[in-house]
Structure 1
């Protein structure tokens, strides 16, 4: 038999919501101030409450399992660094000064080619920070009061490494902006296409602030995993706000997104163990022309505070009714679409 959901649960009809408070987990329950789509605002319990008219034992969205949490490594969580041993990179308008192994400057471009910690400060009027390290190298970029702009490409462009960690230094305010006109470094792949663009795993931590303006397409994106464990992050984009193709995990942080496309998106549709989003905490203020939060395979919400406004971009998207998993991370049930859910869908979360 079909499940009967409250009127506005369609916001999550094509999402997979694992809500800890509803399944007896110890984590704090998510708090949803409003989810707005079209002309209507939806209170938290209207989104998260469902009535099951099927036979006893059938699972509804509200009672689905939520044992999947993000996998946060020590590197994702560690905000400490040794300034004495780190390489200092000073941005001086139209030039860059840096000394140490693994770093080379060419006018207003600096290329980092080795593992280590690099502390960046100052302003760059038109230039680029490039990371092109070895496959096993972890690179920590400490942003300690930077103002970056590039007129032809991504101001921060990660070509290669194992992982890059952006640490927002305590008390720092950091800004990254691009233009609306790119010259692609890889024309065939049309890359990079975001103000902060990475081809490898990207992690953001720290207690400082980061403002990103994506005037060409996306604000911040990676082709692998995006992990956020702290910081105040404010992004504006003509395309997507935050994009992690393989996954997005958020443990904490104050995140504000204004996007012409999706606010947050993970869209790997080639591997069923990827394309997921896990939100374990944080505060989210998202205004999006399409979906506020969109996951290709699975969306799990274990905690956080949410104020979402979406433009209903996926109102006509295909509704899936199968269960979806995380490749060993646990499974949560996904409700079948009905005429009622389809017609009332505003897609704050998908």
Structure 2
């Protein structure tokens, strides 16, 4: 039997109720509990569950064969059919033992056994399945026992508990696999099934919690609801009590509202939209909105209008491995235009295939957006791709207004910003590493009021404005980031920390800009048409400047800084910076720049670039060039090589004509420039420069493909 890897992120054992989803009431629905169902029997789905008295579960098909088993520790196993041969008297020979062994005959059985880690399993029509261990020489048959579910037999009404078959919650990004038939969602006998056929609606197993008066289908109680079919005559309203957890299983549903949102969550504790595995689902709203909803919330009568295809006033979670397409038709963007919008927390789990085409924001969770996985395509013709815009100071201080992405594959195209948060943005990895392609045609690719922290993943940004922007700080602690920007490539109003990862600024006006710049690691390349690196601008709120909790994602380093001037520190990593134009600075600091370690390569690729014109030799000018600082550049360690014809300051300089045909530097550090010029500046571990034969040297490749050689 093949043993499959256990999924640590699910904190298996699978026999724990926390690892299952299902139905239930306010206290026992969904992933929260499942006390009304025997979780052991539930792992078998449509198969019959047996157990051996040791905590192990066996899932048998209608022919009695074991489809798979779930051990007590949560490991899922597939059986293997043993290749066996028959003896002269028809008994089955165990192929793993010598023919001389007395145990080579398996108790006069006439069918080949299944094997699960050394144990042989047989099926008896008369007595059911049993297992026999070869260590038991007496051939005594130990039978498996069928497990009887403790599901309720009564159909619940109101908020009473209902129950359903509970299936293992599987992460598609892991190596944990079970038979496809066992992960199918099977409604419990008490779960309502709503099937739409244009203007007709049928309800099977109505639990008295579905109100179908008019075109508004009201979900009034906690529990599971299965939605299927096609209609443009109905819309879904969730109006349960404040403790209810409502699970809407989209099981092949195509629903476009005739006059409002497709799904409106007015009241509940939490609502889960589950795209059932293997199904395709579509949701759309009305082009014209004219409804005003009146309802009582916490004793107060409120009026509300829906603002999205899926609009929720409560926490909303998208789950499942099926497909969901959301299309916005709303014409008046002052009233609506969002794809999926909750005024509370929005979460996406599992690995749904999600496509949203919106006019305003494709995904919006006012208090937070957290995405763990999925194949997600977002298009906004007028607004943002993903947005969290909490503006309450107390909630911001508690960490709301955040966007956290820890997995998934994203394609985001927006007229305005790609990803925007009023607090902080974290891109990290969990069970998978996110891949994000962001196009912000007229806005910023990633923008935060507090902090952007990239710890992992592959992020590619093309933006009409800044590529990545924070009104506070930006941290790079890993990942692979590529930016093409119409303005700044990376801009922090407070501090920029590059600690690790790969950064490639393909093109920008200002490549990287911040009040305080710290380069302690990573491998970066920057190309700009004005300043490559610019320690300037922003708001002097200190290098840790952030409003709100980081929620365990790590602080920004450094302490409050003086606002008297800006500065750049180069202390580690490998960095290539270049700029071309009529008035450029490759490294600019409206204060000081200090290098104590790392590798810094500066270049003006165009021979006439830098300052206000040409120049030759090691002359300085007051118009910038390779290095331009207000209060000086100092270097005490690391490697500095600069290629150009203009500079305002430098540690050491060689009047050496260079071309892009040779490597230049010293025996321990060398680089081949892109252009040609007449001066090379250097410092740190480089004591002099000349042409270098790089044979036998080690190399580092910058993200733009250029190489630095060293010994």
Same fold (TM over 0.5): yes
TM superposition outliers: structure 1 runs of 4+ over 6 Å: 334-338
Deviation for aligned residue 1:110: 1.0
Matching residue within 388, 391, 403 for 1:269: 391
Does residue 326 of structure 1 match 2:549? yes
In structure 2, C-alpha distance between the alignment counterparts of 1:330 and 1:231, rounded to whole Å:
25
Report the equivalent of 1:161.
Answer: 268
Report the equivalent of 1:289.
Answer: 415
Contact 2:232 2:258 in 1 (8 A): no
When Rg is computed on C-alpha atoms for both structures, the one with the higher figure is 2
- Residues 111 and 334 of structure 1: is their aligned pair in 2 closer, same or farther, counting only changes over 3 Å? farther
Report the equivalent of 1:118.
Answer: 225
Deviation for aligned residue 1:215: 2.1
- Residues 334 and 135 of structure 1: is their aligned pair in 2 closer, same or farther, counting only changes over 3 Å? farther
Does residue 240 of structure 1 match 2:361? yes
Cα RMSD of the aligned pairs, angstroms, is 3.0
Contact 1:121 1:144 in 2 (8 A): yes
Report the equivalent of 1:146.
Answer: 253
- Residues 75 and 82 of structure 1: is their aligned pair in 2 closer, same or farther, counting only changes over 3 Å? farther
Report the equivalent of 2:338.
Answer: 218
Report the equivalent of 2:311.
Answer: 197
- Residues 304 and 220 of structure 1: is their aligned pair in 2 closer, same or farther, counting only changes over 3 Å? same
Deviation for aligned residue 1:334: 9.5
In structure 2, C-alpha distance between the alignment counterparts of 1:75 and 1:284, rounded to whole Å:
29
Q: Secondary structure at the match of 1:106?
A: coil
Deviation for aligned residue 1:266: 0.5
Matching residue within 51, 60, 83 for 2:187: 83
- Residues 305 and 107 of structure 1: is their aligned pair in 2 closer, same or farther, counting only changes over 3 Å? same
Contact 1:138 1:162 in 2 (8 A): yes
- Residues 295 and 318 of structure 1: is their aligned pair in 2 closer, same or farther, counting only changes over 3 Å? closer
Report the equivalent of 1:181.
Answer: 288
Q: What does residue range 86-105 of structure 1 map to in structure 2 within 5 Å?
A: 86-98=191-203, 99-105=206-212
In structure 1, C-alpha distance between the alignment counterparts of 2:208 and 2:291, rounded to whole Å:
28
- Runs (5+) with no aligned partner, structure 2: 1-8, 10-29, 34-167, 171-182, 295-301, 331-336, 445-464, 473-493, 495-544, 568-584, 586-711
Deviations 1:214-262 (A, max 9, x none): 1220011101000001200000001100000000111110000010210
Deviation for aligned residue 1:277: 0.4
Query: Whose relative contact order is higher, 1 or 2, with alpha carbons under 8 Å and at least 6 apart?
Result: 1
Does residue 278 of structure 1 match 2:392? no
- Residues 165 and 235 of structure 1: is their aligned pair in 2 closer, same or farther, counting only changes over 3 Å? same
Deviation for aligned residue 1:143: 0.2
Deviations 1:92-125 (A, max 9, x none): 2113222223111123321001000000000112
Report the equivalent of 1:5.
Answer: none
Deviation for aligned residue 1:268: 0.3
Contact 1:108 1:124 in 2 (8 A): no
Deviation for aligned residue 1:147: 0.6
Deviation for aligned residue 1:191: 1.9
Q: Secondary structure at the match of 2:552?
A: coil
In structure 2, C-alpha distance between the alignment counterparts of 1:114 and 1:179, rounded to whole Å:
26
Contact 1:158 1:197 in 2 (8 A): yes
Report the equivalent of 2:71.
Answer: none
Report the equivalent of 1:310.
Answer: 440
Deviation for aligned residue 1:269: 1.4
In structure 1, C-alpha distance between the alignment counterparts of 2:309 and 2:364, rounded to whole Å:
12
In structure 2, C-alpha distance between the alignment counterparts of 1:181 and 1:74, rounded to whole Å:
37
TM-score by length of 2: 0.35
Deviation for aligned residue 1:86: 1.4
Deviation for aligned residue 1:152: 1.5
Deviation for aligned residue 1:203: 0.4
Contact 2:424 2:550 in 1 (8 A): no
